[in-house]
Amino acid sequence: MKIKTAVVLAMLVLSPCARAEEVQVAAAANFTAPMKAIAAEFEKATGHKAQLSFGGTGKFYAQIRNGAPFQVFLSADEDIPAKLEQEGLAVPGSRYTYAVGTLVLWSARPDLVDAKGEVLSRGAFAHLAVANPKLAPYGAAAMETLDKLGLTSTLQAKFVQGENIAQTHQFVTSGNAELGFVALSQVMKDGRISSGSAWIVPADMHRPIRQDAVMLAAGRNNAAATALLRFLREPGAVAIIRSYGYRL
């Protein structure tokens, strides 16, 4: 009996569930849907659990600097993770690009946005939703696109500014803005735009939206944090990321 008991105890100690840990993840709002799917697969595969918080990259930066207990940060850009590394708030060498975002001009109305985005120059709308370009990388990309089109000053009076890309998407979904610049991942499902009408903004209209992941200082000795950053590069996670319109 003693031998059997010892074997059972050893099996419990060595099982994934017995070693499972939690990781506190701050993730960019545009990555909400894919990250929820990835977190579910991550828990199945490893036994570790990812506690997810979604929001604006700029706000997360301020929270992390003020001591928020996040252990992994999935940013909407590459600049802020680099800053955190320089400031000693992220683990050196852990930063990498987990996705390259795609900007889209989208309307919940199926007949409003044409495939070339010419609706912008026609101006037959009252409100255009754009995320705050100072806080949201997708908002900055939207402003770069409008600048390149020469439409910024013409359309400025029609801007409805979202605090982050999630709020911007909500403005368009609710009808408070007839159209807006959002992340393709917010309107794509199973590899296609699921509703409304859209113009996928060509990549050369703005700087690449490189979204970097980084392990924060609080996650240095957390097995779940290490496992999650590794899992994001696995084929299953990569397939999920691609299915929401991101490039790698």
User: Residues 211-221: pLDDT tens digits?
Assistant: 999 999 999 99
- Asked if pLDDT for residue 233 goes beyond 80, the answer is yes
**How high is the pLDDT of residue 167?**
95
**How high is the pLDDT of residue 51?**
98
Within the chain, all domains assigned CATH 3.40.190.10 are found at 22-100+209-243, 103-200
Superfamily the domain 22-100+209-243 falls into: Periplasmic binding protein-like II (3.40.190.10)
Please provide the average confidence, as pLDDT, over all residues in the chain: 92
Task: Write out the two tokens for 220.
Answer: 């240095």
**How high is the pLDDT of residue 19?**
77
**How high is the pLDDT of residue 191?**
81
The alpha-helical segments, DSSP class H, found in 50-117 are: 57-65, 79-86
Is residue 132 within 8 A of residue 140, CB to CB? The reply is no
CA 220, CA 222: separation in Å to the nearest integer?
Answer: 6
SS3 readout for 120-179: HHHCCCCCEEEECCCCCHHHHHHHHHHHHHCCHHHHHHHEEEECCHHHHHHHHHHCCCCE
**How high is the pLDDT of residue 15?**
45
User: Residues 22-57: pLDDT tens digits?
Assistant: 999 999 999 999 999 999 999 999 999 999 999 989
pLDDT, average across residues 2-30? 63
CA 5, CA 18: separation in Å to the nearest integer?
Answer: 16
pLDDT, average across residues 46-71? 96
- Asked if pLDDT for residue 78 goes beyond 70, the answer is yes
Is residue 136 within 8 A of residue 76, CB to CB? The reply is yes
CA 1, CA 125: separation in Å to the nearest integer?
Answer: 78
Q: Within 10 A of 1 (CB to CB), how many other CB atoms are there?
A: 5
Match 């910024």 to its residue by tokens. 152
**How high is the pLDDT of residue 189?**
81
- Asked if pLDDT for residue 10 goes beyond 50, the answer is no
Superfamily the domain 103-200 falls into: Periplasmic binding protein-like II (3.40.190.10)
Task: Write out the two tokens for 42.
Answer: 């991550």
User: Residues 101-138: pLDDT tens digits?
Assistant: 999 999 999 999 999 999 999 999 999 999 999 888 99
Q: Rounded to the nearest 10 degrees, what angle do helices 165-174 and 137-149 cross at?
A: 70
pTM assigned to the model = 0.85
pLDDT, average across residues 179-188? 96
Percent of the chain exceeding pLDDT 70 equals 93
